[in-house]
Amino acid sequence: MTDHRLTSALFSSDGMRAIFSSNHTVQCMLDVEAALARALAQEGVIPTQSVTAIVNACRADQIDIQLLTMDARQSGNLAIPLVKQLTAKVAAVDAQAARHVHWGATSQDIIDTGLILQLCQAIDVMTSELAEVADALAAHAHHHRATPMIGRTWMQHALPITFGLKAAGWLDAILRHQERLVIVRKNISVLQFGGAAGSLASLGDKGLTVSQALANELQLTLPAVPWHTHRDRIAEVGTALGLLTGTLGKIARDISLHAQTEIAELSESSSQGRGGSSTMPHKRNPVGCAAILATAHRVPALVSTLLTCMVQEHERALGGWQAEWETLPEIIELSSGALQQLRDVIQGMTVNAERMSSNIAMTHGLVMAESVSIALSNHLGRAAAHELVEVACAQAIATDKSLFDILQADKHVSSLISRDELQKLVDPVNYLGQAETFVDRVLTEHRHRKH
């Protein structure tokens, strides 16, 4: 039962808001009630003729949502007033069938299993969204496999890499999240059905067979034991999405840094109305990255709430379970919104290869110092070569000359390394290491995962 605010479209997706809308939340609980009636009748616990009236009444459009919300405040959860309305709807058609509504279940069975149905739908949507992000990143990694750019450590120029390598690093992380979601989807697809205290005593010797029939109806796995106060499955969903939003935030942080005016290597789409300023016509703000980063800031605290909620009392929680109700949908909506934002950012992103090249050159070859140092190490040893090149770098900075010019003028260096060899050593395209191989490895993994 989420409250969709004016900024909801910025931080969530239409599909996810629909899954966790009031009507759909109620419908999923009613789907459980309908499946329970069919399972009970299948196992001979209730008369078969009661099923039709119960199933026909299990429609959210027949429920007074406003009244349900008001009554939940008094009863402490949604299931109690929902069952009350459902029973009244059934009784209006078949008084005998109304006696068998919600038979053998407890409120948490209906709420939790309804939530499981929503979570399965949500994870399926996010799995599809992740695949779109992965495809978009793979396209950049492939196209810019050999496009040189400067790598940065501690926010400073380090060594040349390729933009394909950076995109492949992003993609590799997304592939791990795809794998995690597959595992989470399997682990969460379980029935919650234990009755008042988790023993299904009210169903006598039919408890297990009804449980299996109910699980089959809902296409869920029957767990070994009801899990009313064992919330690791719920927390696993939250933590997996917490990890995901962390990665989305990392990618958004990288892109926004590359989009700074002074760097200008990447930029978000400049479609009409996107990224503008209310006062500065020239602005092209990374609004998609901003939304993703906002999500990455919000989700960790929400995940912390879910982890805290795991400490629950005995067979039914007092406060811990209830704290999950709004926390988990918020995590899912935020994560899905961030995924859609990143998909749009990556698909519409402009890559400025010329600016990448000029940024490498802006330090006049200093970023190639390691390349020269390693070559000189073969003649002087590592420490002496490092010291020689370090002095040369200082001279280049002090005189505003290129590292090549300083080294070429050094008679000691020129006696060891020819001019042509030195030119090759300070050329960034000759010092990309295994960048292209790493890109190929990630792209191969991406292709395997698609097939």
Residue type, 139: A
Whether residue 415 lies in the annotated active site: no
| Cα separation, 236 vs 188, whole angstroms | 8
Query: Which residue bears the tokens 């109304």?
Result: 98
CB crowding 161-181: b at 16 or more within 10 Å, else e: bbbbbbbbbbbbbbbebbebb
Cα atoms in the Cβ-side hemisphere of radius 13 Å centred on 443: 20
Cα 94 to Cα 43, 53, 309: the distances in Å are: 21, 7, 41
| Cα separation, 197 vs 105, whole angstroms | 10
Q: Which of 316, 355, 357, 377 is catalytic?
A: 316
Burial class of residue 13 in the structure, from the number of CB atoms within 10 Å of its CB (0-12 exposed, 13-18 middle, 19+ buried): buried
Q: Which of 277, 358, 414, 418 is catalytic?
A: 277
Whether residue 73 lies in the annotated active site: no
Nearest CA-CA partner of 268 in 144, 352, 151: 352
| Cα separation, 101 vs 285, whole angstroms | 55
Query: Which residue bears the tokens 């007033």?
Result: 81
> Catalytic residues, which ones?
277, 316
